[in-house]
Amino acid sequence: MVVIAAGAMVLDGQVARPGWLETDGGRILACGAGAPPRPADADFRDGTVVPGFVDMHVHGGGGASYTDGPTDSGGIAGAADFHLRHGTTTTLASLVTASPAELLARVRALAEATDHGTVVGIHLEGPWLSRARCGAHDPAQLRDPDPAEIDAVLDAGAGAIRMVTLAPELPGAEAAIQRLVDAGVVVAVGHTDAGYEQTERAIALGATVGTHLFNAMPPLHHRDPGPALALLRHPGVTVELIADGVHVHPAVVQAVIEAAGPHRVAVITDATAAAGRGDGTFRLGAVTVDVVSGVARVRGTSTIAGSTATMDQIFRTVHAGAGLAVAAQTTSATPARALGLERVGSLRAGYQANLVVLDGDLRVAAVMTAGRWRLGG
């Protein structure tokens, strides 16, 4: 058993100053505000302890990518380890649009990584997306949802596919939403040119997530509100925001949190292999990406191609506008709930002992997963 104390600790969504928790067998045995019941094994008097970050939309980092094929499984582990060092203790690995054969190979590789506990599952961002709103996806590989392909992908995933982003206006999309929901997969609306009513219909069929709200979808218009307003208005929908200061203005991040509530906003990195690597040339699936001054764009265009952010950076951005409790909620508890993850995303008795220790500047000082120090401690 290990007792951890800190000057501030976010326990079950509430800020305790000071706070403590006790771990045993990879889980949190007990926790509370004030001084611990016995001397702490690790005392971070000037630090802040928050739940381990849950990134539900991330393509890679540290030069490695979740789109690496089955012969490059070390790249999958490398990407997960890079983000772990930045506080992400739970990763949903995102794939981009690919050919049918490449998609199945990548799903199988990530299903194996899921079995090993490297990631918590797979997010398919594509190939069933709008060509008009393809963003950094290869438009040549985009296609309409096909029942046979969906079944093949689900079989290849062997239960590891947790979320699929699709455009609900595509032919066959309604049947696809129903098939995925029946399979226990979270359906997200994104990379879409859908109207307000089409989006409402997708929600009625079971879609529960809005993929990177505002990005790769029509802008909000007072006579044609589009998908963003439909996603924002529905109480059963969780909306993602890429709070990297590039994709969405910080004032918009704050406004969405105030409008929808932090329990419905999941901030994400949408990071690619370029995260942590500085400026240069990278690949996102089949697309060439140039990073200049920390911003990734599809070569020769102004199209943003994922981000170079990490979850600790995202946490600091939200904290600056909304405070500690909201930052912890939107980086941990909300994405965990949106994905249906049990006993993850909060520091409370019975939950996994996944936590991040932040220093006085809210930078990562230590990381624990399942009761084991993985960094610092």
Distances (CA, A) of 30 to 12, 154, 180, 319: 11, 39, 38, 26
Residue 223 known to bind ligand: yes
Residue 304 known to bind ligand: yes
Residue 221 known to bind ligand: no
Residue 234 known to bind ligand: no
Residue 305 known to bind ligand: yes
How open is the CA angle 249-255-258, to the nearest 5 degrees? 145
72 is catalytic: no
Residue 354 known to bind ligand: no
Residue 215 known to bind ligand: yes
Contact 59, 50 (CB under 8 A): no
Distances (CA, A) of 354 to 41, 55, 97, 314: 17, 13, 32, 18
Q: SS3 of 129, please?
A: coil
Q: How far apart are CA 3 and CA 293, in angstroms?
A: 42
Residue 191 known to bind ligand: yes
Dihedral pair phi/psi, residue 317, rounded to 5°: -65, -45
Residue 323 known to bind ligand: no
Residue 212 known to bind ligand: yes
Q: Taking the chain, what is the end-to-end CA distance rounded to the nearest angstrom?
A: 14
Q: How far apart are CA 27 and CA 81, in angstroms?
A: 21
Q: SS3 of 22, please?
A: strand
Nearest partner of 118 among 76, 164, 161, 58, judged by Cα: 76
Q: How far apart are CA 119 and CA 117, in angstroms?
A: 5
Query: 114-124: buried (b, 16+ CB within 10 Å) or exposed (e) per residue?
Result: beeebbbbbbb
Instruction: List strands edge to edge, sheet with 88-95.
Output: 53-58, 88-95, 121-125, 161-166, 186-189, 209-210, 238-242, 265-268
Residue 102 known to bind ligand: no
Of 55, 244, 270, 312, the active-site residue reads 270
Q: How far apart are CA 323 and CA 314, in angstroms?
A: 13
Which residues make up each annotated binding site for substrate?
136, 215-216, 223, 247, 304-306
Which residues make up each annotated binding site for Zn(2+)?
125, 191, 212
Task: List, by residue number, the catalytic residues.
Answer: 270
Which residues make up each annotated binding site?
125, 136, 191, 212, 215-216, 223, 247, 304-306
